[in-house]
Chain A
């Protein structure tokens, strides 16, 4: 007998008492008011991300002000957003990606209540690796992408895509529970929240 059959057989045998649990109570909040951008900003700042509220026309200039050094961008990032001299990720090797000072991406969804930004590897966000190795991650967020809650974010996302949920910069609390930013991921997270 294969282990698959063995395990499934054991699990079926273990359920010989035929448990019939009741329906799952869904009385938790499932409808939400419109996303509160100020709450999102508040949560992001609480996570020590830096938030910049800018117009779409000011993205490139803002990035140039934040970052000194090479800025990596995914192939699908709108041309108007790219700072001068941006390096496009056309399947760059990991060490080239790691050498960039910063990466600039779009996002898929953001959750106001938790201060979370989700990337789904769409062309304007790129492969997962590019938002991982550079020390600074700059994310551009449109107000329409912000939802109030985790459940609304899940409803908007496609599980077939690789998803990265980001809440603040990389952090550890392993040394006496002190929060230390940046262990392996980007040490700095900048969010460019566009005007409505």
Chain B
């Protein structure tokens, strides 16, 4: 078992959704011109942020939970081979079948084959980042199988022939009237007099999907957690479409990234507290389903678990970068990111947008394929503070910038700088970040590469103890209090 396997393979090109067809600055430029998009985004992210802040404040031990979550994930990464084998054994004992997929092509082939063997030409899907990452819908369609997204937001995206723009709320870039128009245009049998009242829109989706739920025999899901100790899978959701897919069909196929395994049943106490509060700003999401293999007489009688690598082992191979695999996909970092708030998710070119996308996508694909993404940030540090498992995204960005091919990156950085100068609030945050970068940076003097060449021959002007903005803000506050 000591075969040398060379460099771990990254996610293959030409399949799935991890690379954009433009660089981040190019794509962001287009998004910045869309005022409607920015209004929709600002409203949505501000709403989630304030909700989340409120329910997090209810827990006196939030920081201790974060510390535990962070350490648990580091432990999982260090013991990944054992934990995966333990998970495989437990799932198999409970009547499930475990498959291993080295990349997107293989995962798509496994799922397509499993669906074919059921004889069904349609599958119902629970919203899942892993299946979007591998482009499963496109692969199934190519094989003559119709995938039906059942999450309301995913349905909006699918019917609108659009791409998701947020991990949690994929249609965050659409407002109610745009959604009504999409439904009117693309939802078979919809009432043409549909209004844009949210309950009316939700009811239309309910009506449209009910029959599909009851008549489809195969479902595909992702997983939020898989417990190595017990073989239990968990999916958290809100609408009940997850419960439908996980309960009604005869066959359930779950595609899960390797990194989703957690060691013990009791460890869920940490993640089930961290995830909903930082994700949707709820104390608990409306529904969580947990299952272990198959249960005779209840739910699907055939269960397949597909363990997906697709570049994850490449991420794991970088001792600094591997913490990107700790991500529990809560999307809190998106909602606090000043860059995401202005550009939206499409600009990142990958199904993983925002700060986590800026560090995860380039690692999954190899940095050369996503060289502008590590620059898609002001390094303000808000994502680090928001992350429930304490992923140090700003440091990862700097680390990846060092690995990006330079000339292209330099251009991107200059454009990012020009962009920031235009936007006072982001600039203020960046200034704070610059102070941080100095503390963390190379002897506090130079800039990180590619600009280190420039600072090698001269010193950067020392940053003042207090920026003008800090001084002004403090002065204004003092005046208010007086």
Binding site for B on A (CB under 8 A): 1-4, 6-17, 19-29, 43, 47, 91, 94-95, 98, 111, 113-116, 121, 127-129, 132, 149-151, 154-155, 159-178, 180-186
Contact = CB atoms under 8 A, between A and B. Distances in A.
A16 to B, nearest CB: 8
B205 interface: yes
A174 B67 contact: no
A44 to B, nearest CB: 11
B153 A174 contact: yes
Interface in B216-244: 227, 230, 232, 238-241, 243-244
A43 B453 CA distance: 57
Contact of B247 (A25, A114, A129): A129
Given A7-B102, A11-B81, A28-B61, A160 B316 contact: no
Given A167-B286, A180-B199, A183-B238, 9 more contacts: A16-B317, A23-B71, A25-B64, A121-B295, A165-B289, A166-B287, A175-B201, A177-B48, A182-B202
B241 A184 contact: yes
Contact of A183 (B175, B240, B258, B317): B240
Contacts of B198: 175-176, 178, 180
Contacts of B205: 183
Given A159-B292, A175-B202, A15 B284 contact: no
A10 B4 CA distance: 9
A43 B238 contact: no
Contacts of B60: 29
Contact of A184 (B64, B209, B265, B298): B209
A150 B102 contact: no
B84 A154 contact: no
Contacts, number: 250
User: Max chain A CB contacts within 10 Å: which of B3, B40, B43?
Assistant: B3
Interface string B301-317: 00000010100011011
B299 interface: yes
B369 interface: no
Given A111-B284, A184-B239, A10 B309 contact: yes
Given A21-B71, A28-B65, A128-B243, A10 B313 contact: yes
Interface in B51-81: 60-61, 64-65, 67-68, 71-72, 74-75, 77-78, 80-81
Interface string B260-293: 0000011011101100000010111111111110
B9 interface: yes
A13 B47 contact: no
B317 A14 contact: yes
Contact of A19 (B47, B74, B289): B74
Nearest to B312: A11
Contacts of B143: none
B287 A185 contact: yes
A182 B207 CA distance: 11
B349 to A, nearest CB: 23
B94 A165 contact: no
B29 interface: no
Contact of B206 (A9, A121, A174, A182): A182
Contact of B100 (A4, A91, A173): A4
A150 B152 contact: no
B169 A177 contact: yes
Contacts of A155: 266
A132 B289 contact: no
A16 B80 CA distance: 12
A12 B81 contact: yes
A121 B246 CA distance: 14
Contact of A164 (B156, B214, B287): B287
B437 to A, nearest CB: 26
Contacts of A172: 152-153, 202, 238-239
A24 B243 contact: no
A27 B70 CA distance: 13
Contacts of A9: 1, 3, 5
